[in-house]
Amino acid sequence: MDEIVARHMQALGGREKLNSIHSVVEHLEYREASFVFPNAFVARMRPYYKTLGDPKITNVEINEGYDGSAWEYHGDPGVVIRVVGAAAAATRHGTEMFDSLVDYKALGTRVDLSGVEEFAGRPAYKLHVTLADGFEKELFVDQQSNLIIGDRRSAPIHAFGEPVRSENHIGDYRPVSGVLSPFSIKEVEIATGRELNSNTVQSLEVNKILDPSFFSPPQYQRTPLQQMLEQLYLERTDPALRDVDVSRLSGRQSGSGYAKWRGIYWLSNGQNGRLPDGYSVAQGKCCGLSKIGERSVWSWPSIQRGGRCQECADSLSESTRD
């Protein structure tokens, strides 16, 4: 397994070249059925930043991104929402700088060799990939080129409805700053063969200097209606909370780090410390919290998450902020 991954990384350009890239900006054409977006924009930056569209441009239908948690900006009615569940997962799964094999162990990803299978007419290694949040997919690594030529997954379309089994056809690799990148990705529904969408890269720029704040939602003066709509969304009840024991602790308790959400301070990793007076305390049944950098964003980067832990992750990590 490690040998396949090593050959794949070498085929991309080698570890030294991969490590030298800290940001990628793509200008591409996006197609979905009859809809064509000829000037799509995608930016990624280490360690996990991503945006679809320039967040500073607000006269658009939608922008979305990931700055430690997933967000969406909707031009009509002009609101920003921090999404959870399937929508957050879809955004989070697209934050990889290259692909799911590069530095997979450091990211908490598990990769297993399932065998050899033909994909798009080419013999390929079939790898079963489990991301740190429990999401599973299959990758196909061409035996000759050692490049990823496809993947298969099951996920709701645009995070709505029942999961759809689909596969991505990945190709047209071109060198940019010594690293091969795919310039063509086409997603197809497996059951029908119907093309769901396609991305054709027009240009790709690496190591553009971007401030982390670039990946956060746009800042603008809200109208009273926009403020109310955003507040209504924040007051929603998430099904994932069913596996969080909010009555486990109460009153003045000990805990090191903590995050405030809905008037509750959530414990962080059970270490010692004192919480402010007058706040109740709650704790996920499955895991603790850890802060990423100086931002008010919380997640579990150091453990494998699945089952209840993923539900805790969705309800706490994606929605928790000071």
Distances (CA, A) of 74 to 155, 226, 234: 22, 11, 15
Please indicate, yes or no, whether the overall pTM of this predicted structure exceeds 0.85: no
Question: Can you give the pLDDT at residue 28?
Answer: 95
Query: 89 or 149, which is more confident?
Result: 149
> What are the pLDDT digits (tens) for 195-235?
999 999 999 999 999 999 999 998 889 998 998 888 888 77
Residue 190: pLDDT band with limits 50, 70, 90 = very high
Question: Can you give the pLDDT at residue 236?
Answer: 65
Average pLDDT in the 68-95 region? Answer: 89
Residue 237: pLDDT band with limits 50, 70, 90 = low
Sketch out the chain's domains with CATH numbers.
Answer: 2-214 (2.50.20.10), 237-317 (no CATH)
Residue 119: pLDDT band with limits 50, 70, 90 = very high
Question: Can you give the pLDDT at residue 189?
Answer: 96
DSSP line for 191-250: TT--EEEEEEEEEEEES----GGGGSPP--PPPHHHHHHHHHHHT---GGGGGEETTSS-
Tokens 């063509």 found at: 184
Q: Name the residue among 280, 321, 281 with its Cα closest to residue 299.
A: 321
Distances (CA, A) of 304 to 61, 85, 132, 299: 36, 17, 5, 12
Average pLDDT, the chain: 77
- Residue 179 reports pLDDT greater than 60: yes
CA 214 to chain centre: 17
Average pLDDT in the 268-292 region? Answer: 36
Cα(191)–Cα(178) distance, rounded to whole angstroms? 38
Query: 160 or 189, which is more confident?
Result: 189
**Which of the given ranges, 81-95, 174-188, 215-229, has the highest pLDDT on average?**
174-188
